[in-house]
Structure 1
Amino acid sequence: MPTRDLIVVGASAGGVEALRSFVAGLPADLDAAIAVVLHLPAGGTSALAGILGRSGSLPAVTASDGMALQRGRVHVAPPDHHLLVVDGSARLSHGPTENGHRPAVDALFRSAATAHGAGVIGVVLSGALDDGTAGMLTIAGRGGLTVVQDPEDALYDGMPTSVLRHLDVDHVVPSAKIGALLRDCVGLRVDVGGEPSELARRESAIAATTGGVRSDEVIPLGRPSNFSCPDCDGNLVELTLAEPDGVPKRFRCQVGHAWTAEALLQAQGAALEKAVWTALRTLEEKAGLARRMRGDASARGADMLVRRFQRTEEEAAQAADVLRRHLLSGTFAHPADEVGEEFVT
């Protein structure tokens, strides 16, 4: 019988404070390995391992490819790499982003559940949107333990609330109390649990891919959605292959980028906002050019051209005013910045 000796933790917006509180509560003799993903910008380096190492009694390191996941140590995903679990070791990959993130919480959770089954404890901390929900459902489906930060304790309650909306989790506690809870859960022998789903196996393989994903690896996972991927403009497939009950609607494009419906909606809003700002700038430039051409025509005494350019200027200026009011109305407000830039150096 396996024992619970692998803890996987996911966080995003507001995750630094939650992670510091979490590791501060972990006992020094915790007999389990810990793997952590916090959504990070792709560029630069992360100081997260140093921050977490100073916040608690357990040593923390930035994970490297092939590193053994040691009990009593916190292993942190580096920027721009998925952290995956393969045969008790850390695997780093440059696989397709999930919800625009690499590392991604769901990629870690899915790989851990696939490789370690019921011996996994999944922990979701502060974050916006619904990252981590699909991964937690995969962990639960294999008999693993599920723990969620109390939404009232989180700076951003989107991720914890989404898990609670889709799954009857085992424990909901403030981040500072999760360590004491895990002390009593780690090391317990558990049933082997069910086999990982075919979809979990295939998605774990996609996340581990570094040489690119073929369309014939993605198309069989679902059906065409008629939506486009915000990352590459490719066609998105709605995943339908043996999804666990309760998983929120998810998509993958034909080169592997993954999106939940909620994250896709936010990304579409961001793309639309960018397009509207571009249109506003173009209209203002058009009005400015027409104004200059009107002045030149006036100097030459070309009254017909003066009237034409004046109409063009007025039409462009009026359209620009409409777009400006729309942009300032807050229509494109986003729930949160989903990366922890405060500790990227």
Structure 2
Amino acid sequence: MAQGHDPKGNGEPQRDLVVIGASAGGIEPLRTLVAGLPADFPAAVLVVMHMRAGGTSALSMILDRAGRLPAVSASDGMPLEPGRIYVGRPDHHLLADPDRLVLSKGPTENGHRPAVNALFRSAAVSAGPRTVGVVLSGALDDGALGLRDIADRGGTTVVQDPHDALYSGMPASALRLVTADHVVPAAAIADVLVKVVGQVVELQDAAEPSPSMVLEDKIARDGMRPVRRRTGNHDVALEFSCPDCNGTLAEVEPDSGAYRCRVGHAWSQDALLTAQDDELRRALWIALRSLDEKGALARKMVSQALDRGQDALRERFGEIRRESESAAEVLRQFLLSIEDTTESAS
């Protein structure tokens, strides 16, 4: 597939690589999509869905039963063949080479491995305009930056209509970055793919991948350790902490909204904001626990001072107890209010 599968036998490169990303609420649209693909579908299909690192996945079996194309769990070095579905595995990035699959233990992206951005970016680098990228239901914004990479290289972009998605975050985020070629309900995506796959593409007209795209792909493949990015003669400022390792994050390019730390963990702005919110919430709950424990300890020391007739100590520890309990109650009410707000928003 290095030059594009050519079902018509005319020697011209075709759109022959479909990459699909999904997360929460993505199983049903995936099944619907796969069920609509014909047995002679002339493209390889790569699928990434967020999954726990230590878990197992039955997604390949689900998709194998859903339609006419064989679906398998991806293996490193497996050849890319048209008419087959390759499904990412837990705790590995699924990446595309020109004619084979790569499974990588590269750094997590937005806290995920496999990550949709990593798959999409690899397809943009290796297949360029031969790629069709599809974003399905999911929370937050994984896949948005990768879909932009596909668009930048002349590939075709397809997004599930956010109103049709159980979780609209990923489709809506993709549409904020990319003017998608097709925005359709899940039930219509297979028909779109049948129409666009096999179309002739002009490889010589495709833009070359940007240096940052190539670098990001390399990091996902082999964990290259970026130290500092430079823009012209200036270092890009290190501004934020990585939620994965607490290292410093640098923006990949000015105003790109994409960040990596020195280890290589990747974060988008939206995912980073959510992760920082989660980290703040955890820190506040830890603070509440500390205040509760401080109040309980002071209460015990008040009792001990009372038994010993130590009035000065009793007053001192009593004041500490009152301050701790008052602060704990204020913090508890605040935490409960933001938890209620989060639940209402979801």
TM-score of the superposition, structure 2-length normalised?
0.91
2:312 to 296, 299, 304: 304
| Partners of 1:145 and 1:59 in 2: CA distance | 24
1:239 to 246, 252, 256: 252
Letter in 2 for 1:278: I
Q: Contact 1:2–1:118 at 8 Å: present in 2 too?
A: no
| Partners of 2:29 and 2:318 in 1: CA distance | 58
Could you tell me which residue of structure 1 aligns to residue 209 of structure 2?
196
Pair 1:76 & 2:87 matched: yes
Pair 1:26 & 2:34 matched: no
Pair 1:263 & 2:253 matched: no
SS of the residue corresponding to residue 36 of structure 1 reads strand
Gaps of 5+ in 2: 1-11
| Partners of 2:271 and 2:221 in 1: CA distance | 22
Q: 5 Å matches for 1:48-67?
A: 48-67=59-78
Shift of 1:335: 9.5
Could you tell me which residue of structure 1 aligns to residue 176 of structure 2?
165
| Partners of 1:122 and 1:53 in 2: CA distance | 20
Could you tell me which residue of structure 1 aligns to residue 336 of structure 2?
328
| Partners of 1:335 and 1:208 in 2: CA distance | 39
Pair 1:35 & 2:46 matched: yes
Q: Contact 1:225–1:238 at 8 Å: present in 2 too?
A: yes
Could you tell me which residue of structure 2 aligns to residue 97 of structure 1?
108
| Partners of 1:45 and 1:27 in 2: CA distance | 28
Shift of 1:295: 1.0
Pair 1:174 & 2:185 matched: yes
Deviations 1:17-75 (A, max 9, x none): 22122212222221110001111111121111111112222111110100112211110
Could you tell me which residue of structure 2 aligns to residue 342 of structure 1?
none
Structure with the larger RCO, 1 or 2 (CA within 8 Å, 6+ apart): 1
Q: Contact 1:27–1:179 at 8 Å: present in 2 too?
A: no
Q: Contact 2:219–2:225 at 8 Å: present in 1 too?
A: no
Could you tell me which residue of structure 1 aligns to residue 296 of structure 2?
288
Pair 1:253 & 2:261 matched: yes
Shift of 1:171: 0.6
| Partners of 1:334 and 1:213 in 2: CA distance | 39
| Partners of 1:206 and 1:334 in 2: CA distance | 36
Letter in 1 for 2:237: P
**Count of aligned positions:** 329
| Partners of 2:123 and 2:160 in 1: CA distance | 20
Q: 5 Å matches for 1:114-125?
A: 114-125=125-136
Deviations 1:203-241 (A, max 9, x none): 1100001xx43233x534771242111111111111217
Which runs of at least 4 in structure 1 moved beyond 4 Å after TM superposition?
A: 334-337
Pair 1:139 & 2:150 matched: yes
Q: Contact 2:299–2:321 at 8 Å: present in 1 too?
A: yes
1:15 to 19, 26, 32: 26
Letter in 1 for 2:342: A
Letter in 1 for 2:247: G
Q: Contact 1:13–1:336 at 8 Å: present in 2 too?
A: no
Pair 1:219 & 2:232 matched: no
Shift of 1:162: 1.5
| Partners of 2:99 and 2:332 in 1: CA distance | 54
Letter in 2 for 1:177: A
Q: Percent of aligned positions with the same letter in both sequences?
A: 55
| Partners of 1:89 and 1:23 in 2: CA distance | 21
SS of the residue corresponding to residue 57 of structure 1 reads coil
| Partners of 2:252 and 2:301 in 1: CA distance | 54
Cα 1:159/1:77, change in 2 over 3 Å: same
Q: Contact 2:229–2:252 at 8 Å: present in 1 too?
A: no
Letter in 2 for 1:205: K
| Partners of 2:148 and 2:328 in 1: CA distance | 47
TM-score of the superposition, structure 1-length normalised?
0.91
Letter in 2 for 1:233: N
SS of the residue corresponding to residue 195 of structure 2 reads helix
Could you tell me which residue of structure 1 aligns to residue 196 of structure 2?
185
